[in-house]
Amino acid sequence: MYVLLPVGSLTLSFSDGTLIVEGPATVTVMSGQCEVLGCPVSGSLNVERFRALPIFARGSCTLSVNGGSVRYVDGNTIPSDWDGINLEGIALIIGDIDSGKTTLTTYLLNRHVAKGLSTCVVDADVGQSSIGPPGVIGLSCVGLPTPTLEDLHMMSGFFIGCNSPCNALVGLSVGLVQWSGRPLVGLLASC
């Protein structure tokens, strides 16, 4: 593994490995087959500030990276046990700050839509929201893969007015139950 801090623009070719691009950056696929969290990518994509995208090369891939920083990892960075996760029903993904909730959600979303199924994502991470503004529970339903949840359109929202779930337990619970249609017992017990 090595770290590069590009100044301006950088073109990289790599094979059967993952280039992790930390934003803010713009990445353009010049040639080859690349994917981000199970979503095939071509053309350009933006990596937001304070976010990182793992771009996996299936075979050989050439990318142009403008801004941000990059590091290369041999192989795929997606844990193999993620492929064994059952995709039926409602999944509730919880975890600490920067523990990979958005990454796992994006990967599972892409696996689900790859099977031809429409999927809805409720983003209740009101402090680090990807779908909608901070302080809002955002809902998006999709039928195509996406490299990032930030690319999804918020179809509906529930205003919490706070960016900490621990300070808005009632509003957060009401918003989640509104979309799931069933009580979420013990959801916020760790706050």
| Per-domain boundaries in the chain | 2-74, 80-180
Residue among 16, 12, 61 at smallest CA distance from 34: 61
Name the class of domain 80-180. alpha beta
Of the two residues 10 and 189, the one the predictor is more confident about is: 10
Per-residue pLDDT of 98-142, as tens digits, reads 888 889 999 999 998 998 887 888 888 877 888 988 888 888 989
Question: Does this model's pTM top 0.85?
Answer: no
Pick the CATH number of 2-74 from 2.60.120.1030, 1.10.10.60, 3.30.200.20, 3.40.640.10: 2.60.120.1030
Structure tokens at 73: 């990892």
Structure tokens at 5: 């801090």
Range of weakest confidence among 113-127, 142-156, 174-188: 174-188
Distance CA 156, CA 175 (A): 11
Beta strands in 9-90 (DSSP E): 9-15, 17-36, 39-47, 52-74
